[in-house]
Structure 1
Amino acid sequence: MYKSIIANTLRFFSDQSLNTPMVPIQTVQEKKDILVETDVKDTYISCYYPKGAKENNLPVYINLHGGAFIMNSKEMDDPYCRQIANNTGCVVINVDYAKAPESPFPKPVEQTYQLLHWIKDHADDLRIDPEKIMVGGQSSGGNIMAALCLLLKERNEPQPLLQVLICPMLDFVTPHADKPEGDPGRARFPQAANFLNLCYVPKKNQAENPLASPVLAPNTAKLASALVIAAEYDAFSQEAETYADKLKKSGVPVRHEVFEDCYHAFTHLGPEHKAQEAWALVEEEIRKTIEFNE
């Protein structure tokens, strides 16, 4: 009960990036909101169709927002989904996934897996190509998308064409106090991070599960190609580098970019020019992936 009370308090003050988007808010051809039923919970998704789209067989990019597994909503990524759609020609599907502590691990991973299948099953209605799916997320969203790729491998199912992991939190085993935290405020209160961790992985030994801590995955061969974006002064930069290196050693094509003088969530909180550079990088990698798979 106390976890929910604290989580709801944090949620009240969250989504601060809603008021300060790092990119202009663009008009898209269409934004379609859909409620999808999953075993975890009914899930709202928003589908963004790029300006001038005439085809019915469009590539798709599925996005999961950040928020430490307990906070925020898909609306915080609305400006970025609009821009990605227009600048890549993709349908961008923005997901309001289930939050901890009400829906702890592994529920959001399983929910995203079911959503992926729902999207493929409804490809005609969504006007997308089910063979051209890419996925990505920020922070906790990056964790879930990395876990999704591992789960698909575990179940012998096709990988997405690309996984985009932005400032991903990939290691629940290492205490936050032992991570290279560059933000003085976050470094001063590692117990806050410990609370967030306990909300998502409350049971014994869950933190060691590779679907919670992808850096511990024993075999990362044949996973989706990856774009890993990290911030120099982010506590999670080291685990992002570790995972990128692990993917590379397994033969997975990886582009790993570290943004200097930036902190966690810089893609949403700035500095603005660095955020815009990062989103342009995401769009570039999506376009390259589409062209390579045509």
Structure 2
Amino acid sequence: MFTTPIAKLLRLVPNQAKKNPMIPLQQVKMKTEVIVETSVQLTHISFYYPLGAEKKKLPVYINFHGGAFIMNEKEMDDPYCRFLANQTGCVILNVDYAKAPEYPFPKPIEQCYEIIQWMKRKADGLNINPEKVMVGGQSSGANIAAALCLYLEEKGGNQPLLQVLSCPMLDFVTSHADKPEPDQWRSRYPQVASFLNTCYVPEKEQAEHPLASPVRADVSDRLAPALIVTAEYDAFRPEAEFYAEKLKKAGVKVQEKLFKDCLHAFTHLGPKEEAEEAWNLIANKIREAAESL
């Protein structure tokens, strides 16, 4: 297979979302880089501590960046982690999770689960309240956040106070050719999306697994409350709306927000006004969840 060489070439494409952030860069009290040993690989993570943070045992929000499971790194979300830290008064943990095809499903989920367990063990030294944990991400990162909640449920672990799913990709079973793709090039060449999918879930059985495709999961009312942000012209909008309804029917508290006239990853690519509104919504929801206990 040529998935790895092609993925490495795609990683060389400049990241437009990183070059032109939607939120101005803010100062934080402290940003700390840590390398954590997991069974998957050595994992680079960043902690952002908010300005003016005085009290001990701060809530923590764990962020997973987007990038189709194969591209990008945590630094693309640096401006947003700074913003969220200052706006919420929480510590933001930004994870550089393992990329496919070198590390396909379920490796990133297992890795991120181990990061959470490590963080809880080190909570005192990190000035974090292990009982006030939230997770979230964008696109592929939102998939990992949703899968983590399901994985924690499987293992009988405590649920996060909140899961933030922004433009989430939640369905590997439905062919991209059958999704409402607005981009004429991606619509004309759905094989590109199929290649990206194959990198993460090379086998059909993997694509059908509920931790890869949360839309196929049996959900319960014990799952974390969700904020689900969607864009009107996003190929993944139907699966996000389907998952939102599935969660609500199970008794999970869900807040949905549809941004009109926006495309996938608008939080990172604009329009700027809508992106700022989305980040403020996410910040408000994190702060609300952190203050709920």
Deviations 1:25-74 (A, max 9, x none): 00000000000000000000000000011122100000000000000000
- The percent of aligned pairs where both chains have the same amino acid is 62
Alignment TM-score, normalising by the size of structure 2: 0.99
- Would you say 1:250 and 2:238 are equivalent positions? no
- Would you say 1:135 and 2:135 are equivalent positions? yes
Contact 1:15 1:73 in 2 (8 A): no
Residue number in structure 1 paired with 2:223: 223
Deviations 1:234-266 (A, max 9, x none): 000000000000000010000011110000110
SS of structure 1 residue aligned to 2:92: strand
Contact 1:171 1:214 in 2 (8 A): yes
How many equivalent pairs are there? 293
Contact 1:247 1:253 in 2 (8 A): yes
- Would you say 1:150 and 2:150 are equivalent positions? yes
Residue number in structure 2 paired with 1:277: 277
In the aligned structure 2, how far is the partner of 1:219 from the partner of 1:149?
Answer: 10
Q: Give runs of aligned pairs for residues 54-133 of structure 1, distance below 5 A.
A: 54-133=54-133
The Cα of 1:115 is off from its aligned counterpart by 0.4
The Cα of 1:291 is off from its aligned counterpart by 2.0
Write the letter of the residue equivalent to 1:111: Q
In the aligned structure 2, how far is the partner of 1:118 from the partner of 1:279?
Answer: 28
Residue number in structure 1 paired with 2:6: 6
SS of structure 2 residue aligned to 1:7: helix
Write the letter of the residue equivalent to 1:156: G
SS of structure 1 residue aligned to 2:204: coil
Regions of 4+ moved over 6 Å: none
SS of structure 1 residue aligned to 2:34: strand
In the aligned structure 2, how far is the partner of 1:178 from the partner of 1:286?
Answer: 34
The Cα of 1:287 is off from its aligned counterpart by 1.2
Residue number in structure 1 paired with 2:43: 43
Residue number in structure 2 paired with 1:176: 176
In the aligned structure 2, how far is the partner of 1:15 from the partner of 1:77?
Answer: 11
The Cα of 1:14 is off from its aligned counterpart by 4.2
SS of structure 1 residue aligned to 2:262: strand
SS of structure 1 residue aligned to 2:11: helix
The Cα of 1:75 is off from its aligned counterpart by 0.4
Instruction: Give ranges in structure 1 of 5+ residues lacking alignment.
Output: none
In the aligned structure 2, how far is the partner of 1:59 from the partner of 1:190?
Answer: 41
Contact 1:14 1:72 in 2 (8 A): no
Residue number in structure 2 paired with 1:197: 197
